[in-house]
Amino acid sequence: MKKGIFITFEGGEACGKSTQVKLLKEYIESLPNKDDFIFVREPGGTKIGEEIRNLLLNYKEDAPLPMTELLLFCATRHQISENVIKPALKEGKIVIADRFYDSTVAYQGFAREIMSANEILNLTKLAIGDLKPDKTFYFKLSPHEAFKRKANCPPLDRMELEGMEFHQRVAQGYDYMANLEPERFCIVDASKSIEEIAEEIKHEFNTLVM
Ligand code: TMP
C-alpha cells in the first residue's frame, strides 16, 4: 500500500459527500490495515477547530463579517494542518478530509467575493505552507438539484441558508479549481445513486492507495 497520501472530498450543499465519506470509512474499517487511515473534517477536526466551526456555522448572536469568516476558516485550517494532517502524513498515514481549501476558493472566493481565487490560494499558503491534496473527489451537483434535496432536511446552517445565486457561484468556484488542476480533481456525478457513487469512489480509492 502507498503511504502518506492526502485525499479530500469537496462539493456544494447536499451533494452527498459526507454520506460517501461515511461509507468509505465503513469500508476502511473492514481492512486489516485500518489504522493506517485517518479521517478529518473542515471546519473542525481539532478541539479549537470544532469551537470555530460552531462560531462559523451556528453562532446566533452576531454574524461574522466576510473577512472574519475567511480568516476563521484559515485559522482552523492552520490548526488542523499543523497538529493533525502534516504529522499523520509524515508517519505515512493516508489522510481523508471532508472539505479543505477548495471550499474556501468556492465559498469565500467565488460566492462571497471576498477576494480572488488567486488571493485565497496565497492566503492558504500562509496558513498551511505547501500542504496540498493528492486527490480531490469533487461531487458535482446542480444547485437546483441541491435545493430540492435541501428542502427535505432542515434545520439549515448559515451557509445552507444562502440563496440560489450564492450556491451557483460556489459551483463556479469548484469548476474553476477543477479546470485549474484536472490531474488532482476526480469529478463525481453526484446525481447518481448512493450505491453507484460508493462503487466509483471505492474503485478510485483502491487505485490510488493500494
Ligand atoms: P459541511 O456541512 O460540509 O461540514 O461544511 C460546512 C459548511 O462550511 C459548508 O456550508 C461549507 C462551509 N465552508 C466554507 O464556507 N469555507 C470553507 O473553507 C470550508 C472548509 C467550509
From ligand 1's centre to the CA of 37, what distance in Å?
A: 22
Q: What is the pLDDT of residue 152?
A: 76
Q: Which residues pair with 186 in a beta bridge?
A: 137
**How much distance in Å is there from the Cα of 138 to the middle of ligand 1?**
14
What is the Å distance from ligand 1's center to 1 Cα? Answer: 31
Q: Which triple of cell numbers denotes residue 206?
A: 483502491
pLDDT of residue 155: 74
CA of 160, closest atom in ligand 1: 10
Residues with CB under 6 A from ligand 1: 13, 18, 41-43, 57, 73, 99, 103-104, 107-108, 159
Tell me which residues of the chain have a pLDDT lower than 50. none
Domain architecture of the chain: domains with CATH: 5-209 (3.40.50.300)
pLDDT digits (tens, 9 = 90+) for 98-112: 999 999 999 999 999
Spell out the residues 6+ positions from residue 44 whose beta carbon is closer than 8 angstroms to its own.
Answer: 50, 52, 53, 76, 80
Atom of ligand 1 nearest to the CA of 56: 8
| Protein residue with its CA nearest to atom 4 in ligand 1 | 42
pLDDT at residue 150, as a whole number: 86
pLDDT attached to residue 109 = 98
Report the DSSP beta bridge partners of residue 189. 140
**pLDDT for 4-43, tens place per residue?**
999 999 999 999 999 999 999 999 999 999 999 999 999 9
Distances in Å between the Cα of 179 and the Cα atoms of 7, 35, 119, 185, 186 are 18, 34, 17, 8, 11
What pLDDT, on a 0 to 100 scale, did the predictor assign at position 151? 82
Give one DSSP letter per residue of 13-44, joined into a string: TTSSHHHHHHHHHHHHHTSTTGGGEEEEESS-
